[in-house]
Amino acid sequence: MDQHTVLRVEGICKKLDGKTILDNCSLTVNRGELKVLIGPSGAGKSTLLQSINCLIPPDSGEIYLEGCQLDRTDKVALCAFRTQVGMIFQDFNLFDHLTAEANVAIALRKVRGMKADEARSRAQEELARVGLARRTQLYPAQLSGGQKQRVAIARALAMDPKVILLDEPTSALDPELVGEVLAVIRDLASGGMTMVMATHQMDFARALATEILFMERGRIIEQGAPNVLLAEGSGTRTRDFCQRLLEMGA
């Protein structure tokens, strides 16, 4: 294994209700890379991201974190793995009855066993990092979608993850709020965070992806640098898909 490889996923397959959802998906993510998953709705992007941390257990395939193969049958190992692999969902998944600070602190207390004071101050630090220093005492209902997503990112960061998986983190947001969340993700990328992100934000992907993975019908059918896959005249499915998004005004 390359010493810079953080996450390696090998030959993931998944069937649901007898239908093939993931067909032999493999990917490698090196330290500091941002891999962007693109593809039509229903291609399997969410299923792939969720199989990587076994929220949806794959039928077959192997997952390696820093060269160590995950034993999915070992609950302790799976728990440890999940703390190191952050997950950001489209719809934030915050606890509505907890403040922003408590949403971040609860993981630090439960998973890291931190004392309340320590967890609170670490939560404040992480919230400041995503531009929410003055919003720590607000509840999700008092925050905009963009702010909620930034709380979710702060919560993931608080675990010191080795890699973060982001599943269309801006698709549930009003258009004017997309930018603030992308700005946070861009800062993470430039700070060297390792990430895999499903998105339809093609400008973002073009500017920041180390590599684009194009998925269709459960398979990764194209893979390459954005300037290669999206080049005019490249004749790639990725380029074609991107053009169609533009035509639809997405």
**By C-beta, is 46 or 170 nearer to Mg ion?**
46
Interacting partner of 173 out of ligand ADP, Mg ion, none (Cβ under 5 to 8 A depending on kind): none
The distance of closest approach from Cβ of residue 229 to Mg ion in the complex, given in angstroms and rounded to an integer, is 20
165-186 b/e (C-beta count within 10 Å ≥ 16 → b): bbbbbbeebeeebbebbbebbe
Interacting partner of 43 out of ligand ADP, Mg ion, none (Cβ under 5 to 8 A depending on kind): ligand ADP
For position 208 contacting ligand ADP by CB under 6 A, the verdict is no
Of 7-15, 46-54, 95-103, 181-189, which segment contacts Mg ion by CB under 5 A? Answer: 46-54
Q: Which of 6, 8, 12, 44 binds ligand ADP (CB under 6 A)?
A: 44
For position 18 contacting ligand ADP by CB under 6 A, the verdict is no
For position 51 contacting Mg ion by CB under 5 A, the verdict is no
Can you tell me the distance from the alpha carbon of 126 to that of 101, in angstroms, rounded to the nearest whole number?
A: 9
37-52 b/e (C-beta count within 10 Å ≥ 16 → b): bbbbeebbbbbbbbbb
Can you tell me the distance from the alpha carbon of 145 to that of 92, in angstroms, rounded to the nearest whole number?
A: 8
Q: Of 224, 239, 221, 241, which is closest to residue 22 (Cα–Cα)?
A: 221
For position 46 contacting Mg ion by CB under 5 A, the verdict is yes
For position 45 contacting ligand ADP by CB under 6 A, the verdict is yes
Can you tell me the distance from the alpha carbon of 173 to that of 91, in angstroms, rounded to the nearest whole number?
A: 9
Residue 88 forms beta bridges with which residues?
166
Written as one letter, the residue type at 95 is F
For position 21 contacting ligand ADP by CB under 6 A, the verdict is yes
**By C-beta, is 43 or 132 nearer to ligand ADP?**
43
The distance of closest approach from Cβ of residue 12 to Mg ion in the complex, given in angstroms and rounded to an integer, is 16
Read off the tokens for 178.
């997309």
- Residues near ligand ADP, by CB under 6 A: 16-17, 21, 39, 41-47
- Residues near Mg ion, by CB under 5 A: 45-46
